[in-house]
Structure 1
């Protein structure tokens, strides 16, 4: 039992470290010709399926804290100043492993394990996207309009439609083999 706790702590720390590296380097963003795809939330999705809910929440919380830190120190995008609010930068990130974990638990053993992992990855990824944009709209619709000159709903819809499908496919293609590889490593650790 103690060995399992230590092992889970080590793997959680590794995924937190990976999150930090991804958030502070170009590794957390894939730059494609038409769109940039953020993949720094992948460790939180993986942690939820491989290690459990609370480990996933810990990794996601660090992701959110770093989002907040970056918004405070080096904002670059039009919406970045709004991420100084923890309801935008942290809360949606903490929801990623929650939805991922419960979908994975509900599907595991009922459908093919690759589909269970893939569907859970899709749900986790979409949780990140829609929770962030929903909070932006709920809290900052008027300031978004004042900043961009475009109604907030229209601006957010445009931001979602450009990259969400591509990001979801990429995240699922990365998460699925990672989950199986880590499960195998953990089982043998």
Structure 2
């Protein structure tokens, strides 16, 4: 016994940042993200950029296991985006090298999707529809966050690589958000609602 500590002294135990279950979910969803990215199934090649559904695991993680899990999956997705921008560059890859473009919006996906799901579920008490709306909003956050960041930080560079006047950048980006973002959001809504509904049933068992 340490005479300065006394008999009642106990060593404080630090609480782990993530539980074993949360780490398992993070690892699984991050692995799916990487697999989709490496195989190319998570990217849809378009003239100006690679549209992606890689954000869907972030949404699933957030609504299934909470915002902390979703945020971590989003962070890993953002890191993977940087790697992709280096190893497989496209027209807009210069912007994805910036963490404010590649990582921050992916973290916000989790926050937005989770609180959308919780809020809508309380309002309408329809789980499937709440999941679909959360998937749609999460995808929209990804598109608007990335493209909005490009507009705010790289409008001039964007105009140069596209050979357009700077004054037209806003219109082009809005067009990209509409043409790419809407299909991505609809697909995300469908996948999120379908996958999470099944996983919730499995967890309840």
Please indicate, yes or no, whether the TM-score normalized by the shorter chain is above 0.5: yes
| Structure 2 residue 38 is matched with structure 1 residue 20 | no
Higher mean alpha-carbon deviation, 86-95 vs 6-15, is at: 6-15
Written as runs of structure 1 = structure 2, the 5 A alignment for 1:41-52 is 41-52=55-66
| Separation of aligned partners in 2, 1:114 and 1:8 | 23
Q: Report the equivalent of 1:108.
A: 121
Equivalent pairs counted in the alignment come to 183
Q: What CA deviation, in whole Å up to 9, does each residue of 1:3-60 have, x standing for no partner?
A: x93223212211111111112112213569xx97411111000000000000000101
Q: What CA deviation, in whole Å up to 9, does each residue of 1:77-109 have, x standing for no partner?
A: 211111111111111111100100111111223
Q: Which runs of 5+ in 2 are unaligned?
A: 1-15
- Equivalent residue in structure 2 for 1:11, among 5, 22, 25: 25
1:31 to 1:153, Cα distance in 2 relative to 1, 3 A:
closer
TM-score normalised by structure 2 residue count? 0.82
**Considering only CA atoms, is the larger Rg found in Structure 1 or Structure 2?**
2
TM-score normalised by structure 1 residue count? 0.89
Provide runs of 4+ in structure 1 moved above 6 Å: none
When the two chains are superposed, the root-mean-square deviation of aligned CA atoms in Å is 2.1
Q: Report the equivalent of 2:184.
A: 167
Preserved CA contact (<8 Å) 2:25 2:69:
no
- Equivalent residue in structure 2 for 1:137, among 151, 155, 164: 151
Preserved CA contact (<8 Å) 2:135 2:190:
no
